[in-house]
Amino acid sequence: MSEQQPTAVVRSKIDRKSRLSLIWAIPVVTALIGAWLAWSTLSQRGSLITITFETAEGLQANQSHVRHKDVDMGVVQNVTLTPDRKRVQVTVRMNREADPLLTDRAEFWVVRPRFFAGAISGLQTLFSGSYIDLLPASEGGAPKRDFVGLENPPVLQSDVPGRTFLLEASRIGSINLGSPIMFRDLEVGEVLGWDVGEMARNIVVHAFVREPFDQYVHDNSRFWNASGAKVQLGANGLELQIESLRAVVLGGIAFETPDDPKVTEESQADHAFTLFQSKDAADSSDYKRSLPFVANFTASVSGLAAGSPVTVRGLKIGEVSSVSLLYDRASDNVVVPVHFIIEPERVALLDLPTDGDLDARMSELVRRGLRVRLEAANFLTGSKQLAIDVYPDAGPGKLSKDGDAFVIPVLGGSAEDPATAATHLINKLNDIPFESIGNNLNQTLAGVNTLVNDKQLGQSVTALRATLASAQSLVDNLNHGLTPVTQRMPAIAAGLEDSVKRTDKLLGSLESGYGGDSRFNRDVGHLMAQLSDAARSIRVLADLLSRHPEALIRGRTDQGTP
């Protein structure tokens, strides 16, 4: 009996519902992203503005941006000419966050590399390209969409609490935007910019001093240019003075307030000060009175220039204002009028009259010896200065006037000073024939050496010593008797003759070693002649005493008899 195998039954079920494929999710997501980007762009899109400039240098459509504090505020969309073709019109699409800044007080300018008033700015644009900078108003202003751009950067504003002061200067020097402002060697502010509208007369620098240092700025404060470094050679050696390393590189301004109890109020914002060129000039501003003088030099004044100090016994009391040349017809000579000013307030307790008595007082001072002379201020640099003082031995002088200036006589009528005198001395020393003198001295020393070491000189000196001893013995014997003297007279004469002979040999040695026409040789010759005469006289005396010994007592009785 066979078994029946089971049969498997397969049933299928058909799902008639349709399904959406996942591949369609990709375009849906893309569309959503696109819609979101479009909405985001439109929502961030701000106003469309136009700005006109002189030129479009460095600006490119769809590349150049508008920035404020390095934050992107918009993009340049189009650069075209104005209808009159005299300027450039730039169309800019601003961001929505920039709309509140677009008022009639907003300012635009192109930031590009430029050299202006000694400052190089915009160097960062060499890599990033030129862009338009926006300076909005601090407050207020009506909405505006059409602007006229600035050709030069404006004076910046600071958001830090403090005050801005105006500094009037004849020249800006090396001061730049952002140059530091120093007070007691501390950096308390910076330069925001300068006004160029009054450059024909002066430059107005906007100096910002932040709180709390602005309270130290009073109406009697003094500001000066502290740029660079100052090298001075004084009593303490070589001195290098700088305000700060940043001031050396970027330029700087320093100020100080005198301790004057009469002025205690703080200066208000935008108060005008004078910017002095140096601290010395700022210190001199305290002296309100100055007297003009002139000194006419007839010699060189090399090293003297405008600004050179005028001193009294080494201390500054004024400075030179000008140095010029003038032809004097009366003397037919070119003179150098040096105009200088003196601030008498620098001399304590000096009471000079301010009315017509001043002429009489100055005339009296000149009569007493008030003079001006030129002296060296620095031997290394060759700079000169004027020294004014009363010299009682200066001689008579007369005061005259050149306009309002008092003409002070020059000491000695020339401009000789220690440096010039030293130069003349060096020139005279150069004229001395040191080489010839050295050669002659070597020859003289050689002759003297030969003479000193000569054997004949030694023998002559020994014989002369013996002769002098004999002469001394003669004198002694004269005191005791005549007979010994008479007997020794011939020997003394012979000794003198021998000394003369040896001395003649000595003269020969001197002739060969010391020169025949020297003073020493002439003196020795005179001595030898005198010794010869003395020997001859002694011989005659000896002969006389030998024949007539009584002559020493009775005198000579054989007059005329040989």
First to last CA, the chain: 221
> Do you know the residue count of the chain?
562
CA 533 distance to own-chain centroid: 78
SS3 of 289-339: the string is CCEEEEEEECCCCCCCCCCCEEEECCEEEEEEEEECCEEECCCCEEEEEEE
Helix (H, G, I), strand (E, B) or coil at 200: coil
Q: What separation in angstroms does the CA of 274 have from each of 130, 191, 219, 235, 289?
A: 36, 15, 11, 31, 18
Q: Note the pTM of the prediction, 2 decimals.
A: 0.49
For 324-335, what is each residue's pLDDT tens digit?
998 888 888 889
Whole-angstrom distance, CA of residue 238 vs CA of residue 235: 8
For 63-94, what is each residue's pLDDT tens digit?
888 988 888 889 999 999 999 988 999 999 99
Q: Which residue reads 């929502």 in tokens?
A: 43
> Has residue 123 got a pLDDT over 80?
no
Helix (H, G, I), strand (E, B) or coil at 360: helix
For 468-495, what is each residue's pLDDT tens digit?
666 666 556 555 554 555 565 666 666 6
Q: Which residue reads 């201390």 in tokens?
A: 315
Task: Return the amino acid letter for 427.
Answer: N
Q: What separation in angstroms does the CA of 217 have from each of 16, 163, 424?
A: 93, 10, 54
Q: Which range is most confident: 7-21, 142-156, 200-214, 547-561?
A: 200-214
Decide if 246 contacts 187 (C-beta within 8 A).
yes
Alpha helices in 187-243 (DSSP H): none
Domain boundaries, the chain: 39-148, 162-284, 291-425, 435-554
